[in-house]
A = this chain, B = another copy of it.
Amino acid sequence: MGFVIIGGDAAGMSAASRAKRNQHDLDVIVLEQTTDVSYSACGMPYNIADAGREIEDLVVRHAEVFREKQGIDLRTGHRVESIDRKKKTVAGKNLEGENFMIPYDRLLIATGGSPIVPDLPGFDLPGVMALKSLEDGRKIKEHIRARDVKKVVIVGMGYIALEMCESLRARNIDVEMVKPRPIFLPWMAGELASVVREEIESHGVKIYAGHTIERVEAVENNLKVICPDLELQGQMVLVAIGVSPNSELAAKAGLELGPSGSIAVDRTLKTTDENIYSAGDCADAYHVVTGQKTWVPLALRANRAGWAVADNVTGIKTELEGIAGSAVFKVFDLQVARTGLSTAEAEKSGFDPVEVVVKTRSRAHAHPGSTTMHLQIVGDKKSGRLLGMQIVGKEGAVHRIKAPSVALHSKMTVEAFSQCDLAYAPPFSPTWDPMLTAANQLLKKL
């Protein structure tokens, strides 16, 4: 049987490796349009932060290893342009300009996502960059070096924008951020978002939220980001306003799409075509809190979905429960973590959300080195269910959030969560873990 995979990053290569491991005689062909496979995309901001490191450090496994050690027919520089579902073939062009057509028995579309670039004048100028693929990272490092970049304007304020603030400041590059929407981190509880904002500003980053962007202009050696009421300039513009799923191939082939134009898949990762799966940043997923479809392009999910596809293709029936909306990032000295739904998301999903925001210490009474933690917890007034949590703090936020994530998978009530035996020792928390304090306070309002 022939298993063809379009896309050689997290989901695609996870699927290829596991399929071969499950069934050694399976023909596995991976068609990757770039020449990079299997790299830590999420590691790019940290690599860019260090001028002395090669972007290639992020490659987890080289193409030759997949080919020679794992027996995967990995074809880089192969861009798939169409899928013929009747004939069960994919067709496209390689880097040499040659056409190819390959038959499949089972197909995996793992085409990932692409950075959204606004359709405005000047966003195609040299020096206007985005960060998604290893090639993007390579170009950014080269641009910083070649142009001796001293200042960057970041358009957008999502995870990647914030991680890149830290990255660029580490190289002593000035950073200004701008976006049209007035609210900084709109999915976050206001008090928590303020803490993040202050942290960023305390590192010299300027934040301009609520400025419509009109265009980018090249002015002498600089690029200018122009708003009606503001002009920012630097030697580089980083566009980090979000990602969209690469679902054009699937759409052209008539497969059903889900939220945000991602490829709709069932719990076995199958699309609306019996023989075609999709996984990774291009595909949708179930949300364990709402039970509804959602689209969250994150790495763990991509790897897990890749594995599940491989299992299903090789006859090991596997269903994925879904995602809990967990996401974490670091920005300067702060850890930021979320899981589940924000209050606004919970309302939209038909819950009757109640929230509590608490401010606590990170360590026990009188323990040295304690810092401030801010938590938001959301529960459902009707059912008592825990719906979500957000944590911001200098220590312990990111690993803590895994506990409420598990609780969301279990559909726990806030009360049940408040009874959990979350271990205590003075260097790590007050006797009542801040999450328990938050749950205890929320209980009074439920």
Contacts and interface: CB of A to CB of B under 8 A. Distances in A.
A209 interface: no
A301 B339 CA distance: 26
Interface string A388-430: 0000000010111111111111101000110111111111100
A367 B50 CA distance: 11
A323 B50 CA distance: 46
Given A398-B428, A406-B417, A432-B303, A58 B365 contact: yes
A14 to B, nearest CB: 9
A351 interface: no
Interface residues on A, range: 35 or more
Contact of A409 (B322, B367, B398, B421): B421
A301, A326, A398, most chain B CB atoms within 10 A: A398
A58, A320, A401, A403, most chain B CB atoms within 10 A: A403
B422 A402 contact: yes
A431 B367 contact: no
A356 interface: no
Interface stretch (A40-48, A71-79, A341-349): A40-48
Contacts of A401: 423
Contacts of A338: 423
A135 B365 CA distance: 18
Given A403-B402, A410-B410, A324 B40 contact: no
Contacts of A43: 364-367, 426
A337 interface: yes
Given A43-B365, A46-B368, A402 B423 contact: yes
A300 B405 contact: no
Nearest to A338: B423
A33 to B, nearest CB: 22
A57 B419 CA distance: 29
A422 B42 contact: no
A316 to B, nearest CB: 12
A329 interface: yes
A73 B177 CA distance: 58
A400 B42 CA distance: 21
B327 A423 contact: yes
A421 B368 contact: no
A433 interface: yes
A60 interface: yes
B321 A419 contact: yes
A37 interface: no
A407 B410 contact: yes
Q: Which 7 pairs show the lowest CB-CB distances between chains A and B?
A: A399-B399, A326-B423, A410-B410, A402-B403, A324-B421, A328-B423, A406-B406
A432 B365 contact: no
A47 B326 CA distance: 37
A10 interface: yes
A329 B425 CA distance: 6
A132 interface: no
26 contacts: A10-B431, A40-B365, A40-B366, A43-B366, A47-B366, A299-B431, A300-B421, A300-B423, A300-B432, A303-B432, A326-B421, A327-B423, A328-B424, A328-B425, A330-B427, A338-B423, A339-B421, A401-B423, A402-B402, A403-B406, A405-B423, A406-B406, A406-B420, A407-B410, A408-B421, A409-B420
A422 B326 contact: yes
A328 B428 CA distance: 9
A298 interface: yes
B298 A424 contact: yes
A300, A401, A421, most chain B CB atoms within 10 A: A421
